[in-house]
Amino acid sequence: MSEQFEVGQIMTGKVAGIQAYGAFVALNEDIQGLVHISEITHGFVKDINEHLSIGDEVQVKILSVDEANKKVSLSIRATEEPPKKQKAQPKKVQHVEPEVSTSGFNTLKDKLEEWIEQSSDRKSTFSK
C-alpha cells in the first residue's frame, strides 16, 4: 500500500460515503481513505452534506498511511488556499467623561460620625 500512496501526495478521488464525522473517498477500486470533518474545508463545517455529495470528484492530500490497519487519512482543505484574512478595521473608541456627582456619596469618615450619632440617639431612647 505504501508503494501506491505517500504522505503529502495529492490525488483525485471520488466521494464514496458520508458520515457525521467525515467523508470516505475512494482512491482506487480497492482503497478508501477518510477525510475527517475538520479537513473538509477551511473554517467550521456543521454538516458535511453542505460541502460534499456522494459521487463528487475531489482533490485530496494524503496525511497519513496506516498499513497495518489499511487506513489512509486524507485532507481536502490541505489542497486549497486558505482564505485571506481581512485586516480588522480599528474600532473607534469614544471617550466619555464620567459625571461627577456628590449626591448620595459620603466618605466613610462622614458616615461613621453619622452612625455614631444615630447609635447614641437610639441608646438614649432605651435608657429612659
Encode 31-47: b = buried (16+ Cβ within 10 Å), e = exposed. Answer: bbbbbebebbbeeebee
C-alpha cell read off for 54: 456522494
Give SS3 for 82: coil
**What pLDDT band is residue 54 in, cutting at 50, 70 and 90?**
very high
Q: For domain 10-79, is the CATH number 3.20.20.110?
A: no
Cα 18 to Cα 10: distance, rounded to the nearest angstrom:
21
The pTM of the full predicted model, rounded to 2 decimals, is: 0.62
The CB density around residue 25, as the number of other CB atoms within 10 Å, is 26
Top pLDDT among 93 and 21 is at: 21
61-106 pLDDT, tens digit each: 999 998 888 889 999 999 988 888 777 777 777 777 776 655 566 6
**What pLDDT band is residue 4 in, cutting at 50, 70 and 90?**
confident
Quote the mean pLDDT of the chain: 84
pLDDT score of 127 more than 70: no
